[in-house]
Amino acid sequence: MTNVSMTVNGKAVSREVPDETLLSEFLREHLRLTGTHVGCDTSQCGACVVHVNGKAVKSCSTLAASLDGSQVTTIEGLANGGLHPMQQAFTENHGLQCGFCTPGMIMTSVDMVNRYKADGKELTAQAIRGELAGNICRCTGYHNIVKAVEDAAAKM
């Protein structure tokens, strides 16, 4: 057992968990933050993406114990009183259907926009599609997801 302490969505949390506890399990089972979805357990689908110290991370392949002292933001913590511009853009541009991949898509997209803006790089539709290659959506065909990311990028 390992005592894990981190800040999740701006709140300090500490739990004693088995050493092999994945971050996705820590969030969902120990903290009851079920917005982070687990689709594959092999780091291929991207439904479990959260931000760790400001960077997108697949939580289904990250040990919670390795993040002791880290800052973690989940889909529940992304908004600050209202919808985050990315969440709003996904809604307005119909960037979701069943919604299973949506939390991971949004978290990946926020990280992507932040990196591109920080680097002063142009975020094209082709770049968005390339950046989202690690996130699988079985419903939308990605067209509206790309539109949503473009829309949110203009507002972030």
Per-residue model confidence (pLDDT) at position 141: 77
Q: Are residues 12 and 69 in the same domain?
A: yes
151 assigned to some structural domain: yes
Is the same domain home to 26 and 59?
Answer: yes
Residue 79 forms part of a structural domain: no
My answer on whether 134 and 95 are in the same domain is yes
pLDDT of residue 25: 97
CB 154 within 8 A of CB 136: no
Q: Report how many domains make up the chain.
A: 2
Distance CA 24, CA 44 (A): 14
Residue 143 belongs to some domain of the structure: yes
Are 90 and 70 in a shared domain?
A: no
Distance in angstroms (rounded) separating the CA atoms of residues 135 and 73 = 18
How far, in Å, CA of 84 to CA of 51, rounded? 14
Residues 70 and 104 in one domain: no
Q: In the listed set 55, 74, 93, which residue is the last one of a domain according to the structure?
A: 74
Q: Which domain holds residue 121?
A: 85-155
pLDDT string in tens for the chain (156-residue length): 999 999 999 999 999 999 999 999 999 999 999 999 998 878 889 999 999 999 999 999 999 999 999 999 999 999 878 999 999 999 999 999 898 999 999 999 999 999 999 999 999 999 999 999 999 998 877 999 999 999 999 999
Domain end marker among 31, 50, 74: 74
Max CA distance (Å), the chain: 46
User: Beta partners for 5?
Assistant: 14
The answer to the question of residue 139 being in a domain is yes
Residues 70 and 6 in one domain: yes
Cα angle 141-148-120, degrees, rounded to a multiple of 5 = 115
DSSP code string of 27-48: IIIIS--TTS--S-SSS-S-TT
Three-state DSSP class for residue 15: strand
pLDDT of 107: 98
Residues 114 and 95 both lie in one domain = yes
If asked whether residues 134 and 90 sit together in one domain, one would say yes
**Domain ends where: 74, 109, 138?**
74
pTM of the model: 0.94
For the chain, report the end-to-end CA distance as a whole number of angstroms: 41
